[in-house]
Structure 1
Amino acid sequence: MSVDEGARVSGDLVDGADDSLEDTNPRIRTILFSEMLIFAILSLLASWVLSYDAIVLARDPEAQLSCSINAVLDCAKVGLTWQANIFGFPNAYLGMVSEPVVMTIAVASLAGVRFPRWFMFVGNVCYLLGVIFAYWLLYQSTFVIGALCPWCLLVTVSTTFVFMSMTQWNIRENNLFLPEGAQRKALGLVRGGWLTIALIAWVTAVAVLEVVKWGHRFV
């Protein structure tokens, strides 16, 4: 589904595009991909800092990091655990690789490029796995490690917003290969603003959970 003449031209150049879809409002395109770009940049920044801190801790496990604020907000404590290197290298390296891809998609889409359905579908699935991994790490930090990493929290929040923006766009563009009935219902939820409401409720619930868990120890 192209959004304007520029998108139609770009879409014709992208193999696998489905021109049978009706147009998406250009304003919605701008909002969703701008949101993706902003939060991908924030996540990349956090990943860069975490990657640097991982090197610092590898050299000196007793190093004091700037984000080690108190007993609860302690990047060093989190960074020295096995959960911080689940694949044998710092988790932040994954963000260093994935976020530039998201930024490229966002910038190209803002310029009117329309990617093939399969490409956007794969991107959505991969980012879903990223969200699941981010919240698994948050669970580990909260209930197992006993400390939170501020930069990790930024990655988690940013990943959530990018995923929801990408999902909303893909539902509007029918990129998720849903059955006709499921696509119609999903589109109704998106147009009704229910995914946005769900996002706000989810982030609020997570914030409340952390405040209740740690209480005055945040100070």
Structure 2
Amino acid sequence: MSETVTTRRPIVTAVWLIFAGIVGWWAAFSLTMERFHQLMDPTAAASCDFSVLVQCSANLQSSQGSVFGFPNPIIGLSAWIAPIVVGVALLAGARFARWFWALFWLGFALALTFVIWLIAQSLFVLATLCPWCMATWSVVIPSFFVVTLHVLREGVLPGARVREVADRLMVWVPLMSIVAFAVIAVIAQLRLDVLAQL
């Protein structure tokens, strides 16, 4: 069973990585362009500003929007290229060493940690829902699940049983993602009373 798990070409994983990379990169690009427009005209409203609750400006102009001294979306512009390249390589039949998958997983673990912090800042400090930020959340969370299970299938942790369980859990990624999104939605509703402001 373990041989089947480790030699099968991960087409679904590859396609998801490409899709997530494109969505994440486009969200980062859009936010970067919005920030450029704000720098050129500080009085201009962002195109993604729909209300006091649903907007990008508050997030982009906040200290949370430039954690490392430059706009956060710039991180996405470079980082989202990686899953696109890896996805295309997998479709082409490439195979990567265990250390590569461990580092790739670490990248998504850091991304998820950063996103969870940004979600908390958005809901509890800024009291906003940034559309392009939410697009990023929507691909980072399931991508973390996908990559975690894939690296386990690839044998980063030893044991045929680990690979077999990870392989079986992969079909549950959509449900795990929906549950994660639901938790965020409930917190947003409790904190911001979103439904009353629509």
Q: TM-score, normalised by structure 2?
A: 0.89
Match of 1:105 in 2: 86
Match of 2:108 in 1: 127
Q: Which amino acid aligns with 1:81?
A: S
Q: CA deviation at 1:211?
A: 3.0
Please tell me whether residue 156 in structure 1 is matched to residue 145 in structure 2.
no
Greater CA radius of gyration, 1 or 2? Answer: 1
For 1:117 and 1:83, the matched residues in 2 are separated by 34
For 1:81 and 1:201, the matched residues in 2 are separated by 29
Q: Which amino acid aligns with 1:216?
A: L
Identity %: 27
For 2:117 and 2:167, the matched residues in 1 are separated by 26
Match of 2:180 in 1: 202
Please tell me whether residue 191 in structure 1 is matched to residue 168 in structure 2.
yes
Q: CA deviation at 1:189?
A: 5.1
Q: CA deviation at 1:124?
A: 0.4
| Aligned mate of 1:67, from 48, 52, 62 | 48
Contact 2:154 2:163 in 1 (8 A): no
Contact 1:127 1:163 in 2 (8 A): yes
Instruction: Provide structure 2 residue ranges, at least 5 long, that are not aligned to the other structure.
Output: none
Q: CA deviation at 1:208?
A: 2.6
Please tell me whether residue 43 in structure 1 is matched to residue 24 in structure 2.
yes
Instruction: Provide structure 1 residue ranges, at least 5 long, that are not aligned to the other structure.
Output: 1-20
- SS across alignment from 1:22: helix
Give the alignment's Cα RMSD to 1 decimal: 2.3
- Higher mean alpha-carbon deviation, 153-162 vs 83-92, is at 153-162
Match of 2:195 in 1: 216
Q: Which amino acid aligns with 1:147?
A: T
Q: Which amino acid aligns with 1:153?
A: M
Match of 1:33 in 2: 14
Contact 2:5 2:153 in 1 (8 A): yes
For 1:217 and 1:61, the matched residues in 2 are separated by 30
Contact 1:35 1:161 in 2 (8 A): no
For 2:177 and 2:163, the matched residues in 1 are separated by 15
Q: TM-score, normalised by structure 1?
A: 0.81
Contact 2:108 2:144 in 1 (8 A): yes
Q: CA deviation at 1:23?
A: 2.8
- The count of corresponding residues between Structure 1 and Structure 2 is 196
